[in-house]
C-alpha cells in the first residue's frame, strides 16, 4: 500500500486470511473434543498433543491431519502445517478446504506461487468456496493484481451479498486503487450489516484520512478502538491524523500506546518522531526516527525526516549522511536532493549543489523549493537567462506567493527588463509580507524604476522602503540612494 500520507498497509492481508474452525471430528471423539477445547482456550501445544494421539489411533483419517495443520499454522509453524495438509490431501485429494488451508500456510510462509496453485485448485473443486475466494483476493493484492482481487471479492458478494468480511476487503482494495467513493460505500455497507465492526470503522477512517478530513477520520478510529481491542495500527493511524491537525500531544499519546502494544511497529515510531518534531523536541524525534529505521531500514522518507531533526539540532554532518542515504535508497527523493543541495551550496560546493537542485526538479517538476533554489542559484551565478524560465514555472505553480514573484522580478531585473521586473514586484507588494520582505521588495522596485529612468518613482519607492526598514545598515544604504537621486534630480 504507500505513503508516504504518512497512513498502515498490512491490514488487508490480516482481514482476508480466514483460518476456518476445525471440522467436526469423526473419530476418536473424545480426543477431538479435548483438542478443540484446548485450541479454543489458546493452549495450542495441548491441542497438537491430543491430535497427535488421535493420529496414532486413526492414521488414515484426513480430518485429523487437517485439524492439526490448522493448529500448527496458528502457531506459525508453517512447514509442519504444510506437511499435515499435504498428508490430508493424500488421503482425501478432493477436499477444497484443505487446499485452501495449505494455500494459506504457503501464503504466510511467503511462497506465493504455491499458494496460488492451492487456491486455484480449491476453487476448481468448489468455485463458491468463500474463504478461498477471499484468500486468493489477498494474494492477488499482495501481487499488485487489484482488478483480479476485486473480481474474486465481487464473486463472494454475488454468493452472499451481505458478507461483512468481503465488503471490508472490497473497501480495502478500492482504497488501494484510489477509488475513495467506492471504498467509502463498501465500508458503510459493512457497518450497516455489523454496526460495531472495528475493521469497517478503521477502513472508513482511512478513507476520510485520504480525503483530508482528519477530524472525521479520528471519529471513526475512536469508534474502531471502542468496538474492538486496542489495536496498534489504528492507534498509529489516529496519531497520524492528529499530526495533520497539529494536535501533537494526542498524537504522541497514541503512538506511545501503539508502541507499547507492538514495539517493532516502524510506522508508529515514525509518527511519534513527527509528533516530537512538531513539538520542537528534536532530540526525542531523532530517537523515534532511529527506532523506525531499525524496524524498516530501507525507507528513504525515514532518513529524510531524521535528517531534518538533525539540522534543527545543528548536527549538519549527521543530517548530510541521512540525506545521502535517502538518495541512495531513492535517487529521485526530491526533498532530500533539495536539502542536500542547500547544504552543499552553503559550503561553497556550487556544482554538486546545482546537480542536486536539477535532479530534484527532474524528480518532481512541481517542487517549489527546488525550483526556487535552482532559479536563484542561476541568478547568483549571473545566469538570468536560465533563472527566468525556472522561476516562471514556480510562479505558475504558486501565483499568490509574494516571495516567488519577487524572485522572478529579480531575474527580470538582471535581464534589464524593467517593466516585467516592476510587474513582479507590484504583484508581490499586493500580498501579505513581513516588514523585512516588504522593505526588500520596495527597494528592488526603486532600483527597477531608477534603471528605467524614472527617478521620481524610484525616489518614492526608496522612501517607502526607508519607512519600513528597521536594520540600520539597510537604512544607511537607502539613505545614500535617496541622497544620490536627489542630487541627480537637482
DSSP annotation string for 153-202? HHHHHHH-TT-HHHHHHHHHHHHHHT-HHHHHHHHHHHHHHSTT-HHHHH
d(CA 409, CA 424): 5
pLDDT given for residue 350 in this prediction? 95
Contact, 391 vs 375, CB < 8 A? yes
pLDDT given for residue 32 in this prediction? 78
Whether 1-161 shares its CATH topology with 433-490 is answered: no
pLDDT band at 18 (very low <50, low <70, confident <90, very high): low
Q: Considering the domain 433-490 in this protein, what is its CATH number?
A: 1.20.58
pLDDT given for residue 22 in this prediction? 54
pLDDT digits (tens, 9 = 90+) for 201-249: 999 999 999 999 999 999 999 999 998 778 999 999 999 999 999 999 9
- pLDDT tops 90 at residue 388: yes
pLDDT digits (tens, 9 = 90+) for 177-187: 999 999 999 99
Contact, 323 vs 307, CB < 8 A? yes
The correct CATH number of 1-161 out of 1.25.40.10, 2.130.10.10, 3.40.50.300, 1.10.510.10 is 1.25.40.10
Q: Maximum distance among all alpha carbons in the chain?
A: 119
d(CA 44, CA 48): 6
- pLDDT tops 50 at residue 7: no
Over residues 328-339, the mean pLDDT reads 98
For 285, counting Cβ atoms within 10 Å of its Cβ (0-12 exposed, 13-18 middle, 19+ buried), the class is: buried
| Among the listed residues 309, 223, 230, 301, the one whose alpha carbon sits nearest the alpha carbon of residue 267 | 301
d(CA 190, CA 178): 19
Q: Phi and psi for 433 in degrees, rounded to 5?
A: -135, 155
Domain residue spans in the chain?
A: 1-161, 433-490
Amino acid at each position: 500500500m504507500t505513503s508516504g500520507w504518512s497512513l498502515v498497509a498490512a491490514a488487508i492481508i490480516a482481514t482476508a486470511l480466514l483460518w476456518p474452525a476445525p471440522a467436526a471430528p469423526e473419530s476418536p471423539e473424545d480426543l477431538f473434543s479435548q483438542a478443540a477445547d484446548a485450541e479454543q482456550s489458546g493452549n495450542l501445544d495441548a491441542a497438537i498433543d491430543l491430535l497427535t494421539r488421535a493420529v496414532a489411533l486413526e492414521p488414515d483419517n484426513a480430518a485429523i491431519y487437517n485439524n492439526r495443520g490448522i493448529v500448527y499454522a496458528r502457531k506459525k509453524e508453517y512447514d509442519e502445517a504444510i506437511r499435515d495438509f499435504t498428508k490430508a490431501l493424500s488421503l482425501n485429494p478432493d477436499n477444497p478446504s484443505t487446499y485452501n488451508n495449505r494455500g494459506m500456510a504457503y501464503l504466510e510462509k511467503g511462497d506465493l506461487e504455491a499458494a496460488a496453485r492451492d487456491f486455484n485448485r480449491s476453487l476448481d473443486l468448489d468455485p463458491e468456496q468463500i474463504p478461498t475466494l477471499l484468500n486468493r483476493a489477498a494474494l492477488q493484492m499482495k501481487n499488485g493484481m487489484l482488478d483480479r482481487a476485486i473480481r474474486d471479492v465481487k464473486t463472494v458478494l454475488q454468493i452472499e451479498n451481505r458478507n461483512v468480511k468481503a465488503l471490508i476487503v472490497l473497501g480495502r482494495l478500492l482504497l488501494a486503487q484510489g477509488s475513495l467513493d467506492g471504498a467509502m460505500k463498501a465500508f458503510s455497507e459493512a457497518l450497516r450489516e455489523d454496526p460495531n465492526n472495528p475493521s469497517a470503522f478503521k477502513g472508513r477512517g482511512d478513507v476520510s484520512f485520504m480525503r483530508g478530513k482528519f477530524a472525521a477520520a479520528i471519529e471513526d478510529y475512536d469508534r474502531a478502538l471502542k468496538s474492538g481491542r486496542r489495536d496498534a495500527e489504528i492507534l498509529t493511524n489516529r496519531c497520524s491524523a492528529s499530526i495533520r491537525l497539529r494536535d501533537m500531544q494526542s498524537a504522541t499519546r497514541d503512538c506511545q500506546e501503539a508502541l507499547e502494544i507492538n514495539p517493532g511497529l516502524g510506522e508508529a515510531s515514525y509518527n511519534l518522531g513527527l509528533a516530537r518534531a512538531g513539538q520542537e523536541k528534536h532530540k526525542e524525534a531523532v530517537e523515534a526516527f532511529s527506532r523506525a529505521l531499525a524496524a524498516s531500514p530501507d525507507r528513504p522518507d525515514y532518513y529524510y525526516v531524521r535528517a531534518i531533526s538533525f539540522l534543527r539540532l545543528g548536527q549538519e554532518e549527521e543530517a548530510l549522511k541521512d540525506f545521502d542515504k535517502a538518495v541512495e535508497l531513492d535517487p529521485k527523493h526530491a526533498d532530500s536532493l533539495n536539502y542536500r543541495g542547500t547544504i552543499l551550496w552553503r559550503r561553497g560546493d556550487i556544482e554538486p549543489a546545482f546537480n542536486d537542485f536539477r535532479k530534484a526538479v527532474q524528480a518532481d517538476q512541481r517542487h517549489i523549493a527546488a525550483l526556487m533554489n535552482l532559479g536563484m542559484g542561476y541568478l547568483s551565478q549571473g545566469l538570468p537567462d536560465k533563472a527566468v524560465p525556472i522561476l516562471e514555472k514556480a510562479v505558475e505553480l504558486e501565483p499568490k506567493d509574494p516571495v516567488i514573484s519577487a524572485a522572478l522580478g529579480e531575474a527580470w531585473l538582471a535581464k534589464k527588463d524593467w517593466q516585467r521586473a516592476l510587474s513582479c514586484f507590484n504583484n508581490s507588494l499586493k500580498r501579505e509580507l513581513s516588514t523585512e520582505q516588504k522593505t526588500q521588495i520596495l527597494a528592488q522596485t526603486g532600483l527597477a524604476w531608477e534603471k528605467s529612468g524614472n527617478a521620481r518613482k524610484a525616489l518614492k519607492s526608496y522612501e517607502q522602503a526607508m519607512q519600513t526598514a528597521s536594520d540600520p545598515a539597510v537604512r544607511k544604504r537607502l539613505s545614500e540612494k535617496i541622497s544620490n537621486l536627489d542630487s541627480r534630480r537637482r
